[in-house]
Amino acid sequence: MAPKHSSLLAALILLVLLSIQHCSGSGEHDYHDALRKSILFFEGQRSGKLPPDQRIKWRKDSALHDGADAGVDLTGGYYDAGDNVKFVFPMAFTTTLLSWSIIDFKRNMGSELGNAVKAVKWATDFLLKATAKEGVIYVQVGDAFSDHSCWERPEDMDTLRTVYKIDQNHPGSDVAGEIAAALAAASIVFRSLDSSYSTLLLDRAVKVFEFANRHRGAYSSSLHSAVCPFYCDFDGYQDELLWGAAWLHKATRRRQYREYIVKNEVVLRAGDTINEFGWDNKHAGINVLISKEVLMGRAADLKSFQVNADAFVCSILPGISHPQVQYSPGGLIVKPGVCNMQHVTSLSFLFLAYSNYLSHANHAVPCGSMSATPALLKHIAKRQVDYILGDNPQRMSYMVGYGPHYPLRIHHRGSSLPSKAAHPARIGCKEGSRYFFSPNPNPNRLIGAVVGGPNLTDSFPDARPFFQESEPTTYVNAPLVGLLAYFSAHH
């Protein structure tokens, strides 16, 4: 339990947050509408043959021959952002976070649960294809340099669809570990919905993890020219091995994964980079995920993970946060790097998930001589969500299609170019440039897309060339699904 004087910290932080909210305006949000749109976004990112129930109608079939040159079927899956490459590393992380959102918050999703599950399955169907060949994992489809030199619709794509793989001679424990985590997490989602599919996912997760652990190395070392600087693994592969083991333990309850976590905690540096969580760095997520077991009283030998999770929380709190975490004048979490909103949604998701685990254990987080309550963590997470939805100095929703004022010129090929219905003729590689540089709004609204967001001064250039601010990604939306589900049920 928290010491009595911990209320001083909570009062101070709440005062900061409330003053920020007063300065930037506050209104009631329709969180369920935002939830619906955040899931709908994934349909706009689909690759392959689109299903009859496709709701974003301006998108059509694309990349129907992916994998053919390598003799495999790699159609389907998601484009990660505003380009037309399928990067499996961020796609798998997106899948893990979508699954975690459902596992923890499915009771809050209401009528959107079915759509959330479909979003997961679109990814897992692809991940099963990518891992179907023994000893080989396909980790990327499309040459990023070729793709990024063009501005064309995925439906017109004529850039190189090169297939990249890892194997025992070209290891990639990071991407393989993340795929294992994604498949294991998704197996929990489908356990009560489709037991045979759930079993298939879990069996594949076990095999993929064994491969990742046996053949250790970073995929950006094996495939440097293809994956760097786009989704280069800057933080090493060790965290993905622990992450994969943690999800396999959660999905199987097998002792071998528990023992793996205990044995490798120090070797694989579980306590590193505690205030980071995203497609490249899983440390904070590992600690929060495993802490649930500790807080439930089922894993005293894993207490150090809870200590790490508490340290993560203290490093993010406004007023006492780590130098690597700042808050804009309007109250937005800001961290160095591209696409800041990925940090906002992922870190907020961990705050919300951890606050629930803490609540069940009647526990608060000690931050030095102070403590932070579960209610405070929820308040901070909600403040970030509200900022995204329009409670900010720009009075702008950073989710396309939500609210009266949102980005109109997002950095996204399919959204910014005329649809096939409006312009049936092909638009070539360089012909799309005039649309890229046009000051006009995008002709196709990518409903639910959350862009990279404003900078440290809360300013936002609504223009395609500013990709760091105006490009949406799947891994921004995935944790936001869980956040919006919770707040739609509780506010």
Q: What is the mean pLDDT of residues 24-41?
A: 87
Confidence grade of residue 413 (pLDDT, cut at 50, 70, 90): very high
Q: What is the pLDDT of residues 34-68, one digit of tens each?
A: 999 999 999 999 999 999 999 999 999 999 999 99
Q: Is residue 248 a contact partner of residue 205, using CB atoms and an 8 Å limit?
A: yes
Average pLDDT over residues 316-329: 83
Q: Give the confidence band of 443 by pLDDT, cuts at 50, 70, 90.
A: very high
| Residue 163's pLDDT band (cuts 50, 70, 90) | very high
Q: DSSP assignment of 46-72, as one string? A: B-BSPPTT---TT---B-TTTTGGGTS
Q: Using 50, 70 and 90 to split pLDDT, how confident is the model at 27?
A: low
- Predicted confidence at residue 369, as pLDDT, reads 75
Higher pLDDT, 92 or 2: 92
Residue the block writes with tokens 């947050």: 17
Beta bridge partners of 86: 141
Segment 295-318, tens digit of pLDDT:
998 888 899 999 999 999 999 998
Model confidence at 17, pLDDT cuts 50, 70, 90, reads low
Catalytic residue at 471? yes
Tens digit of pLDDT for each residue in 220-235? 999 999 999 999 888 8
Q: Please state, in angstroms and rounded to a whole number, the distance separating the CA atoms of residues 401 and 450.
A: 10
Catalytic annotation present for 462: yes
Residues 293, 411, 412, 458: which is the catalytic one?
411
What are 190-214's pLDDT values in tens digits? 999 999 999 999 999 999 999 999 9
- Checking if the pLDDT of 117 tops 70, the result is yes
Give the per-residue pLDDT at 26.
Answer: 53
Q: How confident is the model at residue 3 (pLDDT cuts 50, 70, 90)?
A: very low
Higher-scoring residue by pLDDT: 321, 175 = 175
| Exposure class string for 58-80: b at 16+ Cβ within 10 A, else e | bbbebbeebbeebebebbbbbbb
The predicted pLDDT at position 142 comes to 96
Q: Is the pLDDT of residue 4 over 50?
A: no
Model confidence at 20, in pLDDT bands (50, 70, 90)? very low
Provide the mean pLDDT of the chain.
92
Burial 387-412 (b: 16+ CB within 10 A, else e): bbbbbbbbebbbbbbbbeebbebbbb
Quick one: average pLDDT of 77-85?
97
Q: Are 150 and 430 in contact (CB under 8 A)?
A: yes
Neighbours of 167 (CB within 10 A): 15
pLDDT at 358: 97
Question: What pLDDT is recorded for position 313?
Answer: 94
| The one catalytic residue among 33, 167, 431, 462 | 462
Residue 274: per-residue pLDDT? 80
Least confident of 84-93, 320-329, 372-381, 449-458: 320-329
pLDDT of 11 over the 50 cut? no
* pLDDT at residue 5 greater than cutoff 50: no
User: Which residues are paired to 372 by β-bridges?
Assistant: 365
Above pLDDT 70, what percent of the chain? 93
d(CA 373, CA 364): 5
3-state secondary structure 385-454: HHHHHCCCCCCCCCECCCCCCCCCCCCCHHHHCCCCCCCCCCCCCCCCHHHHCCCCCCCCCCCCCECCCC
- Copy the structure tokens of residue 416: 């910014």
Kindly give the residue spans of alpha helices, DSSP state H, lying in 88-150.
88-105, 113-130, 144-148
Selecting among 80, 293, 386, 471, the annotated active-site residue is 471
Residue type, position 174, single letter = D
Report pLDDT for 307.
92
Is the pLDDT higher at 321 or at 78? 78
134 is catalytic: no
